[in-house]
Amino acid sequence: MSTVERLSRLALGTVQFGLSYGVANQSGQVSPEEVGLILDAARNAGVRTLDTATAYGESEKVLGQQDLRGFAVVTKLPEIPADCVDVSAWVEAQLHTSLVRLGLLAVDGLLLHRPAQLLGAHGAALFAALQAQREQGLVRRIGVSVYSPEELDALCQRYHFDLIQAPFNVLDKRLEQSGWLERLRRGGTDLHVRSVFMQGLLLMPSEERPAKFTRWEPLWALWQRWLAESGQSPLQACLRHALAVPQIERVVVGVDSLAQWQAILQSAAGTCPAVPSELQCADIELLNPSLWNHL
């Protein structure tokens, strides 16, 4: 795979454009001026996918103030309100608002941020509403964003998705071990992965890692040892590991500065040595960042 092909498989995550986000984020929300520079650098490198969501603060609005020509945008709907009486109208209104904010006529992907609602009372109506937006040409692909492959067991029994977004990184082998990595490919569902840096946790020097993560110290020691033996930086290893997986269409990476984005573009080139089989974790308290506040 050439460097150009490799970089084209990156997707720029934009949560930091709308919020101060990430355990390793020290610079806060990215300024609109720097957003423009990051988008230019992404376009010049051949990156063609942007990932955003209604829940990402001002992200959609900030993107809408930029030149998005040449980019395919994936966005996500929030949870349906409990008092919603017309699911179809709600989905239509939410997507319309996102398109207005983004300044676009259509988006490449529309995902559900709370896919468990597809298994509830509104499930059939919700999926039909997504299909309707696709049929109108306002969305090319519909799907869900999940926290774990286990969610797919029930969801994919009932529905067929064009696109799935799920966590994946050098410690998180659940997609592969559950069989979903290959099952999605065989079923014609595209896969975008996020959390390749675990919100920056995998990139942190040990002395900067928050104390609450010390319970996984043997894992961090193994990680550091493998990096030293393989001659890779944490950034190189995280990126190259994910980009080497052929079933993954896009690797979503978020940034909080132009310098960080440039470092990502430089580090993505190159191959990743085999990862030691013992370098993995099944502890959901580490793998799911939404649980970190409870550590």
Q: 217, 213, 184: which is closest to 199 by C-alpha?
A: 213
> Does the pLDDT of residue 131 top 70, yes or no?
yes
d(C-alpha 264, C-alpha 196), whole Å: 12
Residue 285 half-sphere exposure toward CB, CA atoms < 13 A: 8
Q: What is the mean pLDDT of residues 131-136?
A: 98
Amino acid, res. 115: P
Per-residue pLDDT, 25: 42
**CA 113-119-122 angle, 5° bins:** 85
Per-residue pLDDT, 22: 46
> Does the pLDDT of residue 105 top 60, yes or no?
yes
Res. 19 pLDDT band, cuts 50 70 90: confident
pLDDT, tens digit, for every residue of 27-66?
Answer: 567 889 999 999 999 999 999 999 999 988 899 999 999 9
CB 125 within 8 A of CB 88: yes
Per-residue pLDDT, 140: 98
Per-residue pLDDT, 27: 53
Average pLDDT, the chain: 93
- H-assigned helices in the chain: 3-8, 15-18, 32-45, 59-64, 87-102, 123-135, 150-158, 174-177, 180-186, 217-230, 234-243, 258-267, 284-287
Question: What's this model's pTM, rounded to 2 decimal places?
Answer: 0.95
User: What whole-number percentage of the chain has pLDDT above 90?
Assistant: 84
Amino acid, res. 104: L
